[in-house]
């Protein structure tokens, strides 16, 4: 039978056990989790501190007579559990290990409950049920935070990846290169476009080379995104050259009927050569006998 009021919770004896048996519970709980220490991800002292602090907070929360883990009385417990599961996520523990840590409090608690209620079956069953529900709720809360911390890590990594994967490099005065790596979706196109346009303004560039060597597939959508980027660059007064179209991609694009309608070159070197020509520069070989090392320079 579920507990209907706070007075029932006191009657189960759980608050009293948490208060009287705190030291014993801490010891038993800590021992039950000895396996976690094995590979050095978490220290013996750290684990003991976590057990002690949690039980202390739990004792005070239970003394309020409430069993609602979401209530203000449980705020310190929630904070501790949140901190714990975040650090577990960072230390590389699995969700199972993190949850088991909380659930392993059940066993020692049940032992104490049996001592407390002796042979009185029905009360013992009620008390066990109440303790079980309380610890389940705490365990689920821990898993929730654990999952959220993992998702935060993933989102942060995605952002970093996105920023890293769209560099704009200056090849020469007035010539920029945009080496694209990975699939182009609308979010990335937006980032790429903004980076490129800002770089055009910053460097006063006249020509931008969009190199798609690292783009695994070009379908109609990717082509459309490319064209948008090129149109925007043209509006800013910069010409675009597309380079690095691999043989299979060229075939796929023709089969799909995708036309880029821009100057395209097979590789970055050819595109760079064309860009230099347009700016009225050319690459010449040094006369023999001049300083080695500064072999090729644009005139």
CB of 233 to other proteins, least distance (A): 8
CA 192, 193, 194, 200 dihedral sign is positive
Site for other proteins in 220-249 (CB under 8 A): 228, 231-238
Rounded Cα distance between 265 and 272, Å, is: 9
- Beta strands 283-285 and 296-298, pairing class: antiparallel
Distance of CA 155 to the CA centre of its chain: 4
CB of 170 to other proteins, least distance (A): 15
Asked if residue 206 binds other proteins (CB under 8 A), the reply is yes
Question: Which residue's CB is nearer to other proteins, number 17 or number 238?
Answer: 238
Site for other proteins in 254-293 (CB under 8 A): 265, 270, 273-274, 276-278, 280-285
Asked if residue 204 binds other proteins (CB under 8 A), the reply is yes
Rounded Cα distance between 144 and 192, Å, is: 35
- Give me the 82-121 binding string for other proteins, x by CB under 8 A, dash otherwise: ----------------------------------------
- Give me the 152-191 binding string for other proteins, x by CB under 8 A, dash otherwise: --------------------------------------x-
SS3 label, residue 179: strand
CB of 268 to other proteins, least distance (A): 12
Residues within the interface to other proteins (CB under 8 A): 190, 193-194, 197-198, 200-201, 204-206, 228, 231-238, 265, 270, 273-274, 276-278, 280-285, 296
């Amino acid at each position: 039978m579920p507990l209907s009021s706070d007075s029932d919770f006191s009657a189960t004896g759980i608050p009293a056990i948490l208060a009287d048996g705190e030291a014993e519970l801490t010891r038993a709980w800590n021992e039950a989790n000895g396996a976690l220490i094995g590979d050095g991800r978490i220290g013996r002292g750290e684990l003991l501190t976590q057990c002690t602090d949690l039980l202390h907070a739990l004792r005070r929360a239970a003394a309020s007579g409430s069993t609602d883990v979401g209530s203000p009385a449980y705020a310190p417990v929630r904070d501790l559990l949140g901190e714990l599961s975040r650090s577990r996520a960072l230390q590389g523990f699995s969700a199972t290990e993190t949850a088991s840590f909380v659930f392993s409090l059940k066993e020692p608690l049940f032992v104490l409950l049996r001592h407390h209620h002796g042979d009185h079956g029905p009360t013992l069953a009620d008390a066990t049920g109440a303790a079980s529900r309380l610890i389940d709720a705490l365990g689920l809360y821990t898993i929730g935070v654990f999952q959220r911390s993992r998702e935060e890590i993933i989102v942060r990594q995605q952002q970093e990846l996105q920023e890293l994967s769209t560099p704009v490099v200056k090849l020469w005065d007035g010539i920029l290169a945009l080496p694209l790596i990975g699939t182009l979706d609308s979010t990335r196109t937006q980032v790429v476009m903004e980076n490129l346009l800002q770089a055009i303004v910053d460097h006063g560039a006249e020509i931008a080379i969009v190199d798609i060597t690292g783009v695994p597939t070009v379908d109609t959508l990717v082509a459309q995104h490319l064209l948008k980027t090129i149109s925007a660059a043209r509006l800013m007064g910069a010409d675009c050259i597309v380079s690095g179209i691999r043989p299979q991609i060229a075939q796929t694009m023709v089969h799909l009927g995708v036309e880029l309608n821009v100057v395209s070159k097979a590789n970055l070197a050819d595109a760079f050569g064309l860009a230099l020509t347009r700016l009225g520069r050319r690459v010449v070989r040094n006369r023999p006998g001049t300083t080695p090392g500064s072999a090729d320079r644009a005139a």
